[in-house]
């Protein structure tokens, strides 16, 4: 009787894993150092489209509220020129946010910010961007090739690092 129960468990486990094949390798789907990104565009909080092309040197990315909070704290007192002079884009995946919450609360707050926040509302573009809960992700690029990926939870450390970035020519 025990042998039959064990076989049933193995069959159930194999069946379960066949239904959800990506459970075991979800992390391997994230972009990594050396990957080449395709150009893409996203709308900002005002509905203006921004291109992510070879001129972009760094993507500041957040998929969660705490990560976005790190980036917002870093941007305090800075404007869009700070970002554009250095080839930086601020990208936020808001796909997990209920649309009513985005419309009624998040977007009005974002529209008061003096810098563009590119929004991925469907998680189509940023689905492969790596993230860690509570951290902002910095994706360094050269001609859209990923050169480095870093996770920061401290706005001051982010500020020191990004202020040291030379401006584009």
Q: Is residue 13 part of a domain?
A: no
Q: How sure is the predictor about 22, in pLDDT bands with cuts at 50, 70 and 90? A: very low
pLDDT of residue 57: 96
Q: Is residue 71 part of a domain?
A: yes
Q: Is residue 134 part of a domain?
A: yes
pLDDT at 74 over 80: yes
Average pLDDT over the chain reads: 85
Residue 115: which CATH number?
A: 3.40.30.10
Q: Which residue has the tokens 């401006």?
A: 167
Report the share of the chain in percent with pLDDT over 70. 83
More confident residue, 149 or 19: 149
* Eight-class DSSP state of 128: T
* Eight-class DSSP state of 87: T
Query: Among the residues of the chain, which ranges form H helices?
Result: 2-19, 65-75, 80-86, 99-101, 107-111, 155-163
Q: What is the pLDDT of residues 143-165, one digit of tens each?
A: 999 999 999 999 999 999 999 99
More confident residue, 75 or 5: 75
Within the chain, strands assigned E span 40-44, 49-52, 58-62, 88-93, 118-120, 136-142, 145-152
Domain count, the chain: 1
Interval 9-28 mean pLDDT: 46
Q: Is residue 22 part of a domain?
A: no
Distances (CA, A) of 167 to 40, 55, 80, 84, 97: 23, 12, 13, 9, 34
Q: Is residue 24 part of a domain?
A: no
C-alpha to C-alpha distance for 41 and 120, rounded to whole angstroms: 10
* Structure tokens belonging to residue 120: 């991925």
Q: Is residue 114 part of a domain?
A: yes
Q: How sure is the predictor about 124, in pLDDT bands with cuts at 50, 70 and 90? A: confident
Evaluate whether 133 touches 54 at the Cβ level (below 8 Å): no
Q: Which residue has the tokens 């565009």?
A: 41
* Structure tokens belonging to residue 47: 């509905």
Q: Is residue 130 part of a domain?
A: yes
Q: Is residue 150 part of a domain?
A: yes
Expressed as residue numbers, the domain containing 126 is 29-163
């Amino acid at each position: 009787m025990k042998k039959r129960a064990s076989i049933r468990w193995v069959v159930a486990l194999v069946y379960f894993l066949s239904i959800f094949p990506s459970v075991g390798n979800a992390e391997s789907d994230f972009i990594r150092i050396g990957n080449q990104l395709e150009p893409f565009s996203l709308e900002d909080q005002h509905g203006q489209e921004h291109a992510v092309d070879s001129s972009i040197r760094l993507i500041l990315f957040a998929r969660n509220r705490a990560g976005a909070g790190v980036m917002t704290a870093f941007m305090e007192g800075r404007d869009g020129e700070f970002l554009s002079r250095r080839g930086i884009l601020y990208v936020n995946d808001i796909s997990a946010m209920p649309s009513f919450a985005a419309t009624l609360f998040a977007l009005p707050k974002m529209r008061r910010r003096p810098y563009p926040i590119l929004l991925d509302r469907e998680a189509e573009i940023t689905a492969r961007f790596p993230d860690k809960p509570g951290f902002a992700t910095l994706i360094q690029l050269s001609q859209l090739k990923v050169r480095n990926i870093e996770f920061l939870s401290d706005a001051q450390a982010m500020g020191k690092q990004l202020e040291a970035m030379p401006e584009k020519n």
